[in-house]
Amino acid sequence: MSHDQALVDSRIERYAYFDEINRPYVEWQLDVLRRYIGRRVLEVGCGVGSVLALLSDRELLVGVDKDPEMVGHATERFRGRAAYSFVAMDMAEPSPETMRHLAARSFDTVVSINVLEHIPDDLAALRAMASLTGKQGHIALLVPAHPGLYGPYDAIDGHVRRYTRSGLVSLIRSANLEVVMVRRFNAVGAVGWWWQYKVLKRSIHGSAQFGLMTRLVPLCRWAESLVAPPFGLSLAAVCRNPA
C-alpha cells in the first residue's frame, strides 16, 4: 500500500470511528429534523454515510460529497442496497451535468448537516440545494451557532463562519425560500464548546469529549424536548420552496 493511500485510509477510518461513537448525538440531530424529511432524500455533505444510515426506511437515499474518497467509502458501505447511491460533487461549484442528473431523481427533501459553514458562498449553495427539490420541497439544515464561539477548532475544521439565528433566517429568505422552522440545539454543548475552545484555548477534541457528550445526550434530549433552549451549539432549520 502506498503512503498516500495509507493516509486516505487512516483519515476515513478516523471519520468512521468518530461517527460510530458519536451515533447517539447524530440521531438526536436528525430527530430534530426528521418530521420534515420525506421519502426521496438527498444529503449534501454525506461523509461516510452516517446520517443516511439512519434513514434506511426511505424510498431513495442519495449522498453527495466533494471528497471522492468519502464517496468511495460510502458506496462500498451500502453496496447491494438498492435505495442508496453516492455522487462525488462540490455543491459550492456544481456542474450543470451533475445538477441535471440529480434533478431527475425528483427529491422531496435535501438534508445538510454541518456543511454550509464550510462554503464561502453559502447563498449559492443553498439555492443549488433548493433547485433539486420540487414545489414545497424541504431543505433541512443544521449549522454551528454563535459567531462568538468561533475558535481554533472551527478554523482547523474549515469553518468559514458560525451563524446567528437572524443571519440564518436572512440567508434562507435571500434564497427565496420560506422559513418553516428554526430552533436552537444543544445548550450544554455550547457551554462545553465555550470552555474548551475559548477559555482553555484548545484546538481539537477527541474521543473523551465525544464520549462525554454521548453520555449526556439522553438528558439533554429530554430537557430540550420540554423547553426550547435560549442558546445552543447549533441551529436547526427547515425551509422550503414556495408553492
Q: Is the pLDDT of residue 27 over 50?
A: yes
**Average pLDDT, whole number, for the chain?**
90
What's the rounded Cα separation, in Å, for the pair 125 and 218?
33
- Maximum distance among all Cα pairs of the chain, rounded to whole angstroms: 53
pLDDT (0 to 100) of residue 16: 77
pLDDT of residue 243: 77
Q: What band does 208 get if pLDDT is binned at 50, 70 and 90?
A: low
Cell reading at 58:
426511505
**pLDDT at residue 5 tops 60:** no
Is 205's pLDDT higher than 70?
no
Closest CA to 183 of 169, 196, 193: 169
Band of residue 37 on the pLDDT scale cut at 50, 70, 90: very high
DSSP string, the chain: --HHHHHHHHHHHHHHHHHHHTHHHHHHHHHHHGGG--SEEEEES-TTSHHHHTTTTSSEEEEEES-HHHHHHHHHHTTT-TTEEEEE--TTS--HHHHHHHHTT-EEEEEEES-GGG-S-HHHHHHHHHTTEEEEEEEEEEEEB-GGG--HHHHHTT----B-HHHHHHHHHHTT-EEEEEEEE-HHHHHHHIIIIIIS------HHHHHHHHHHHHHHHHHHHHS--SS-SEEEEEEE---
In this structure, of 54-68, 104-118, 185-199, the range with the lowest mean pLDDT score is 185-199
- Report the distance separating Cα 202 and Cα 193, nearest Å: 10
Predicted local distance difference test score (pLDDT) of residue 6: 41
What confidence score (pLDDT) does residue 7 get?
37
The answer to whether residue 4 scores a pLDDT higher than 60 is: no
Q: What is the pLDDT of residues 105-125, one digit of tens each?
A: 999 999 999 999 999 999 999
User: Which position has the grid cell 459567531?
Assistant: 147
Domains of the chain in start order, with CATH, are 3-240 (3.40.50.150)
Higher pLDDT among residues 167 and 7, named by residue: 167
Which has the higher per-residue pLDDT, 34 or 134?
A: 34
In the chain, what percentage of residues exceed pLDDT 70? 92
Q: Which three cell numbers stand for residue 149?
A: 464561539
Q: What tens digit of pLDDT does each residue of 130-185 get? A: 999 988 899 999 999 999 999 888 888 889 999 999 999 999 999 999 999 999 99
Is the confidence at residue 2, as pLDDT, over 60? no
